[in-house]
Chains A and B, each alone.
Chain A
Amino acid sequence: MSTPASSSTLGPRGGALAMASGERPRRSAATWLAILFFAGALLFGGIALALGDVFYLRLATEALIFGGLALSVDLLLGRVGLLPLGQALFFGLGAYVSALVLKNWSDSFWLALGVTLAFSAVAGLIGGLIAIRAKGVYFALISFGLAQVLSKVVYNTRELGASDGIIGVPSANIMWGVNSATPSGFFLVVLAFIGALYLVLRYLMDTPVGRQLDAIRTNEHRVSFLGEDPWRYKLGAFVAAACIAGCSGALYPMLRGFVSPELMFFQVSGNAVINVIVGGTGTLIGPLYGSAILTGLRSVVGSFTTHHHIVIGVLFVLVVILMPRGLIGYATPALQRWLDARRNQKENR
C-alpha cells in the first residue's frame, strides 16, 4: 500500500521528473523525441510540397489539429489525472465560433482565434465549475454527458445549420498573403501553432504550477495540507484544456471550409482519448505522435473499409492491456538508457 508495487502505468515516471528538475543540461530522451516529431513533420511537409500533393498535406494538417485536441486531453488525463470523455465539446464549440466569425465578421485568422479563445475560456469556466467537483468516473460521465447534451442541442438548432452544420466558410487570412487555402502554407502555420502549444505546456510542467498538477494526480488529499487548494488548480487546468481544445477546433473550418455537429460527437472525444493512450499519456509529445499515426491509420484503413473503427478499437484495447504507457511512454526510458550508455562510453574514453 505504501509502495508503488508496479510504479504507475500511466503518466511520467518519477525518474524522468527528477531529471527534468534542471540538474542535467544535456538533452533528454523526451526532448529528442519531440525534436524528431517536429523535424519529421517539416520533412514531410517539404516532400509533399515538392511533389505538389494536396491531399496528404491536408490530412497531415488535420492530424495536427486533432493533435491539439489530444494535447488538451493529455493535460487533464496525464497530468491532473482526470479522464475527459467529452473534450470534443470544446473542440466543436471552437470550430463553430471560428466558422461564424470567418463567415459573418472577418476573414482574419487572428480574430477568429482570439474570439474562440475568449469563448472557450468562458465555456471552460462554466463546464469546469460543473465538472471539477467530481472525480474519476463521475468526472468522465459529466464530461461525456455535457458533450452528449450540447451536441444534441446544436444538432437541433436551425440557426447553427442543424444537422448540416455551417458550410461555405471562407479561408482565413493569416499574414503577408498567407491564407489557409494554401495547403503547404497552412500546414506550416498549424505546425507552428501546435509546436508553440507543446512548448508552452512542456515549459509549464517544470514550474510550480505544473508540478502542483502532478501532485494532485499523485495524491490530491495531501495537497491541501501543503497549503494549496487543489480545486483551484483543477479548475485552471480544465479551463486551459478547454482553451487548447477550442483553439485547435478553430483551425478546423479554416482547413475544411465547414463545421458540423459531428465535431462534438463522442466519436471525436473517444478518438482523442485513444490517440493519447496509444501515443503515451502524460508525455505531451506522445499524444501528437498518437494523433499523427492514428489519423493516418484511420485514413488508410478507411480507404479499404468503412469499418476502421473496429480496427482502431481492437488496437486500443491491446494497447491498454499490453502497453498502457503508450508508445512514447516506453520509447522515452528506452532511448534514455541508450543515451546514458553512450554518454558513459564517451566519458570513459
Chain B
Amino acid sequence: MSNAMEWLQFVLAPQMINGLSIGVAVVLMALGLTIIFGLLDVINMAHGEFYAIGAYLAVALLATGMSFWWALVLTPLLMAVLGFVTERGLIQRVFHSKDRHTLTLLLTFGVAVVLEDALKIAFGANPLRLEAPISGATEMLGLFFPNYRLFVMLFGGALIAGVWLLVFRTSLGAIVRAAAYDRNMSASLGVPVQLVYAGTFAFGVALAGIAGVLLAPIYSVFPTMGKDFVLIAFSVVIIGGMGSIKGALLAGLLLTQVQSISSLYISPVWSDPLLFGIMVLVLMWRPQGLFGKLGSA
C-alpha cells in the first residue's frame, strides 16, 4: 500500500506536474493555431516556426541585457507585429483564390521553410541555452518542484484564462466569433473584417511566441525546434477539434500528460509515434475531433 503511495508521490506526481508545465505552453500554442483556423480557415504550417522565433527573440533580447520579464512582455508584442505583417502581406494574397485551402497550406509551408533557414542564418545551427529567470525549488507535499515550472504553470494558466475571457466574454471576442461564423454578415454590420483577420492571425502568432519564450529555459533553443513541435501542436488541435478552444485546452493538457506519464515506461523515441498514433485514431474514429468549431466553441 505504501509502495503505491510512494510511487504516486515520487514518481507519478512529479511527472504529472512536469507534464502540466509543458502542457500549459502546448495549450497556448494550440490555442493560437486553432483560433487562426477557426477564424481564417487557414492552416498555419509556419506556426512551429513562430514558436521557435519567440524563443530566439527572447534569447536575443536577453543578450542585450534585458531582463527575462521584459522579454516575456516584449516578445509577444513583436510577434504580433510579425504575424500582422505576414497575414496582410502574404496570406491575403492567396486568400481569395478558389484553391484557398491548398494554397494557404503551401504558402505557410513555404514561409516555414524560409523562417527556419532564416533562424539558422541569424543564430547559427547550434543549440542555445536560456537561463531560467527563477531558480530554486519549492517543497510541496514532500517533493521539490522547480520554481520556474510552477511559474510557467501559473502564468500560462492565467494567460489561458485570459484568452478564454477575451474570446467569450468581451465584445472584441464577440466580433471575432461573429466574423468566424459569418464573414459577409459581419462585414455588412460594420465589422472591419480585414483588420479582424490580420489581428487574429497576429494574436495567434503572439501566443505561439509566448509559448516559445516560456519553454525556452526548459528545452534548449535550436533551429529545428519549430518542426519538432508542430506535430504535437497539430495533434492537439486535431484531437481537440479544429477551431475549438475548449478542445485545444483539454487535448493539450491530456496529451502532455500522456506524454509525461508514458515517458516513465517507454523510451522517448516512442513518444512522438504514440501521440501521432492517437491523432490518427481520433481522425479515423471522429474526424471533427472531440469538439466542434470556433463559432460554437
Contact = CB atoms under 8 A, between A and B. Distances in A.
A300 interface: no
Contacts of A309: 113-114, 116-117
Interface string B96-109: 01110111011101
B110 A317 contact: yes
Contacts of A316: 106, 110, 113
B131 interface: no
A221 to B, nearest CB: 15
A307 B98 contact: no
B269 A156 contact: yes
Interface in A112-152: 130, 133-134, 136-138, 140-142, 144-146, 148-149, 152
Contacts of A142: 279-280, 283
Contact of A141 (B97, B98, B102, B234): B234
A130 B280 contact: yes
Nearest to B121: A307
B111 interface: yes
Given A138-B283, A324-B99, A310 B114 contact: yes
Contacts of A77: 102
B162 interface: no
A84 B121 CA distance: 28
Contacts of A145: 231, 235, 276, 279-280
Contacts of B97: 6, 9, 324
Chain B interface size range: 35 or more
Interface residues of A, number: 44
B114 A148 contact: no
A245 interface: no
A71 B204 CA distance: 36
A117 to B, nearest CB: 26
Given A5-B98, A137-B105, A320 B118 contact: no
With most chain A CB atoms within 10 A of its CB, the pick from B110, B118, B273 is B110
A102 interface: no
B98 A4 contact: yes
B79 to A, nearest CB: 19
A211 to B, nearest CB: 20
B183 interface: no
B227 interface: yes
Contact of A133 (B90, B109, B110, B284): B284
B43 interface: yes
A324 B99 CA distance: 10
Given A145-B280, A313-B117, A137 B109 contact: no
Given A85-B109, A312-B113, A316-B110, A9 B273 contact: no
Interface string B76-104: 00000000000000100110011101110
Contacts of B98: 4-9
A273 B105 CA distance: 12
A277 interface: yes
A327 interface: no
B113 A83 contact: no
Contact of B117 (A8, A274, A307, A320): A307
B93 A321 contact: yes
A145 B284 CA distance: 14
Given A148-B272, A152-B272, A273-B106, A313 B114 contact: yes
A87 to B, nearest CB: 14
With most chain A CB atoms within 10 A of its CB, the pick from B109, B227, B231, B287 is B109
B231 A83 contact: no
Interface in A65-118: 77, 81, 83, 85
Contact of A310 (B103, B117, B273): B117
Contacts of A161: none
A130 B285 CA distance: 11
B295 to A, nearest CB: 18
B238 interface: yes
B118 A310 contact: yes
Nearest to B119: A310
Contacts of B110: 274, 313, 316-317, 320
B117 to A, nearest CB: 4
B129 interface: no
A134 B283 contact: yes
A85 to B, nearest CB: 7
A152 B272 CA distance: 9
Interface in A257-290: 266, 270, 273-274, 277
Contacts of B101: 136-137
A266 B269 contact: no
Contacts of A153: 269, 273
A10 interface: yes
Contacts of B109: 85, 270, 273
Given A149-B272, A317-B111, A83 B105 contact: yes
A268 B116 CA distance: 15
A149 B277 CA distance: 9
Contacts of B269: 152-153, 156
A317 B49 CA distance: 15
25 contacts: A6-B98, A7-B98, A10-B102, A85-B109, A130-B280, A136-B101, A138-B238, A140-B105, A141-B234, A144-B231, A145-B280, A148-B276, A149-B273, A273-B106, A274-B110, A307-B117, A309-B113, A313-B111, A313-B114, A314-B114, A316-B110, A320-B103, A320-B106, A321-B90, A324-B94
Closest A-B pairs by Cβ, 5 of them: A313-B113, A313-B114, A310-B117, A317-B110, A309-B117
Given A9-B103, A137-B105, 8 more contacts: A6-B97, A77-B102, A133-B287, A141-B238, A145-B276, A149-B276, A270-B113, A324-B97
Interface of B: 43, 90, 93-94, 97-99, 101-103, 105-107, 109-111, 113-114, 116-118, 120-121, 227, 231, 234-235, 238, 269, 272-273, 276, 279-280, 283-284, 287
